[in-house]
Amino acid sequence: MVMKKEIPWDLIVSKLKNELTAEEEKRLNDWLPDHAELFDELAALWDKIQLKSMHYNPDADYYWNELSRRMHGETTKSKHKDSAHLEHKRHRQLSQWTYWAAACAIVVIIASFFAGQWMGVPEAISLEYACVSGKSSASLPDRSLVWLHNDTKLVCNVTQQGGKERIVSLEGEAYFDVAHDEDRPFVVQTEGMTIRVHGTKFNVEAFPETENTYVSLVEGSVSLETATEHRYLMPGETATYDRKNGRLSIAADDVVFASSWMQEQIVFEQRSLRDICRFLSKWYHVKITLEPAIADKFRYTFTLRNESLEEILRLMTRINPIEYTFNDENELTIFNKSTNTKK
């Protein structure tokens, strides 16, 4: 029986950042002889990340800490209150910032993959994909494609040979283009609900801090299983699972719009403020509180590309009589302009 050797992630990270102490260097050197190929792959990828980001100066400590946290399954989130950080969060840095986050996710993927190989169990590979911010995409070992949204983690147990199912678990939001395999269903596990497919395209939104899980089916068919129900979803429908009361409902929906976050631009056509705010909250990674009286009162038509959140908000205030404020926690509140005037 092959014993699982613990991978010293902290030492690997410190080595790549050139921050090892003499004692840590010795400990890493004791581990390296049997894992040189794994380390070389990680080092090569790290060099590519630095080369790609040579004109960008991100907070490397932040991203490595975030990467390490996700490797070890921690759930604590740091809070940054300084004004520079708040301004950074309000203005989406789409190009290099997103690349950096996606590259960190790739480190997790490659490390986990080779760890499985070195443990001598390639038939039961465990992979972890993480997107800290922006969006990223990856190809799974079974050739299924997945796109990850902000603050999303996907853990895969995708068997290469002989397995009866291809299983992944999701926290956050992801779009799946599943490779067809009639003999091995593709299973997405979320809190309280299991989604089972053979080959199809669908979007799943399952952020742990929200009450609902949404499944929007673009092509094919999927089955949904909860503790009390087993139902089927058809193309053009969205299922809403209320994790608080365990209720599952299905309705016709604009499923293309539901998964449009993965595109380079998003077109809003006569969308309610409620729909837009839900989308903007994920797109810009910011909490939005919307005055209930205007949630469905105003409609908007515009295209979202690489604009900052401030630009979009200013545009929206010119179209309809609304106002907005940010608090010290970078939380956004949108309200009726006339309501604020009366106050």
Domain match, 144 and 240 both: yes
pTM of the model: 0.64
Q: Give the pLDDT score at 86.
A: 46
Are 106 and 177 contained in the same domain?
Answer: no
Instruction: From 86, 117, 148, give the residue that closes a domain.
Output: 117
Closest CA to 215 of 166, 162, 174: 174
Helix 60-71 / helix 96-118 crossing angle, nearest 10 deg: 40
Is 19 in the same domain as 113? yes
Distance CA 46, CA 40 (A): 10
Report mean pLDDT in 10-residue bins for the chain, 343 residues.
52 75 88 82 64 43 48 42 44 41 46 44 63 81 88 75 78 95 92 92 93 95 94 96 95 91 87 91 87 92 87 92 89 82 45
Domain that residue 103 falls in: 1-117
Q: Are 221 and 241 in contact (CB under 8 A)?
A: no
3-state secondary structure string, 259-308?
CHHHCCCEEEEEEEHHHHHHHHHHHCCCCEEECHHHCCCCEEEEEECCCC
Backbone angles phi, psi at 115, to 5 degrees: -60, -45
- In the chain, the number of structural domains is 3
Please report whether residue 74 resides in a domain. Answer: yes
How much is the pLDDT for 299?
Answer: 93
Residue 153 lies in a domain: yes
From 237, 262, 287, the end of a domain falls on 262
Q: Is 255 exposed, middle or buried (0-12, 13-18, 19+ CB in 10 A)?
A: buried
pLDDT of residue 150: 84
The gap from C-alpha 322 to its chain's centroid, in whole angstroms, comes to 30
State phi, psi for 52 to the nearest 5 degrees.
Answer: -65, -30
Neighbours of 71 (CB within 10 A): 18
Domain boundary among 235, 262, 289: 262
Note whether 10 and 68 are within 8 A (CB). Answer: yes
Please indicate, yes or no, whether residues 193 and 85 belong to a single structural domain of this protein: no
In this structure, the answer to whether residues 107 and 61 fall within a common structural domain is: yes
Let me know whether 55 and 144 are in one domain. Answer: no
The answer to the question of residue 127 being in a domain is no
Do 170 and 254 belong together in one domain? yes
Give a yes or no: residue 250 inside a domain.
yes
State the DSSP string of 221-263.
-EEEE-SS-EEEE-TTEEEEEETTTTEEEEEE--HHHHTGGGS
Query: Nearest CA to 147 among 178, 113, 116?
Result: 178
Instruction: Round the average pLDDT of the chain to a whole number and report it.
Output: 76
94 with 152, same domain: the answer is no
Would the CA dihedral through 102, 103, 108, 110 be positive or negative? positive
